[in-house]
Amino acid sequence: MGHRCCSKQKIKRGLWSPEEDEKLLRYINTHGHKSWRLQRCGKSCRLRWINYLRPDLKRGSFTAEEEQIIIDIHRILGNRWAQIAKHLPGRTDNEVKNFWNSCIKKKLISQGLDPQTHNLLSSHRRSSASTISNMHKKSNSIFIMSSHTPNAPVETTFQTFSSLPKPPPNIVQTPSTIVTSEYQTSAIVSNKFSSDLPYDLLVNNGSNICSPSYMNPTAVELSNNENIANWVSRVNVDDFSGQTLEEVTQVQVQQEKDKICEDTVTDVREANKDNLERSVSFESSNFDFGLLESVLSSEFISHDLSCMDELAWNF
DNA sequence: AATACTTTCAACCGCAGGATC
DNA sequence: AGATCCTGCGGTTGAAAGTAT
């Protein structure tokens, strides 16, 4: 069964001809993109405009950077192409989806990764990695560690896991397993939700972490500098070969905390100087609430968030 | 050169939610 | 209240292009 508007009348379907494109462009230039009732189904016109005719679209193949962004966000959000596309200016959800299905998916599989979960596929797991892999399932961090075998191809060096926080604050989970660089693997470092980490800034005012209205405006403003992508940090396991994961964890977490706290403390002081009473415009904010909301409401973070209530910004 | 097979990606489908009449 | 339209989304399809035999 076709779309309602298409089934009612004889409307052209299939590929668009250059003449039709031109006609649609002329129509949009004259009438704007408010009404889509042409000889084609309105839905088809709209789609053609969004996916092909829009002037701000970027053409050509995806760059390595774009690919990495897609992988990183997909790891957190899953197949939410529209959300992912929002972080790639000039790219459409359809484009991202097609690129994923035709390229990235295969690449991940060839690397032994499950494209849906980003975990190692069972067939690629070795005993030395299984411990870490299982650990990942239990752990609650969005820290990512990457490692590679000395002879591994460059594109296989980002084998990453991630997950999001569940346990109560102040508890930094530190799985103790020897980290080696002999096997290409990834490992969870620790729980990022310690009480003095930047998430606190975002949730210091209530249980509904997803809603900006529950957030402390000052805190949100201060967080504007931190894009969600920066929440995911990478460390190189090779630098810590031979150390226990616990040791690596403590060092990395401390460094990350120090850096973040340093930044946020500076920001807070700056903000205090600037008079904290001024209101914050969410619309003008660079902070991506859409993605934040997506992340927080994704199945990755389906855990009970009530523990967030306990978080407080103790400054 | 011809055919078969694979890949790519534009377009479609179906659904949901909101706005309008 | 119900019908219709618009918008947005993720999944799927199939024609065209590319590649292998």
Q: Sign of torsion, CA A110 A149 A154 A229?
A: positive
A115, A119, A116: which is closest to A129 by C-alpha?
A119
Are A107 and A155 within 8 A, CB to CB?
A: yes
A125, A123, A124, A145: which is closest to A134 by C-alpha?
A125
- A54 Cβ contacts chain C strand, under 7 Å: no
CA A244 to chain centre: 28
Element (H, E) at A262: helix A245-273
- A34 Cβ contacts chain C strand, under 7 Å: yes
CA–C1' span, A33 to C11, in Å? 26
CA–C1' span, A108 to B5, in Å? 23
Pick among 1.10.10.10, 3.40.50.10800, 3.30.70.260, 1.10.10.60: CATH of A64-110: 1.10.10.60
- A47 Cβ contacts chain B strand, under 7 Å: yes
pLDDT tens track for A140-184: 333 333 333 333 333 332 333 333 333 333 222 222 222 222 222
Protein CB footprint (7 Å) on chain B nucleotides: 7-15
Phi/psi of residue A265, each to 5°? -65, -45
pLDDT bucket at A75, cuts 50 / 70 / 90: confident
Are A75 and A158 within 8 A, CB to CB?
A: no
Residue-level pLDDT at A117: 83
CA–C1' span, A182 to B17, in Å? 51
pLDDT tens track for A37-50: 555 677 888 888 88
- A17 Cβ contacts chain B strand, under 7 Å: no
Greater confidence, A51 or A241? A51
Residue-level pLDDT at A108: 86
Phi/psi of residue A236, each to 5°? -95, 120
Greater confidence, A102 or A193? A102
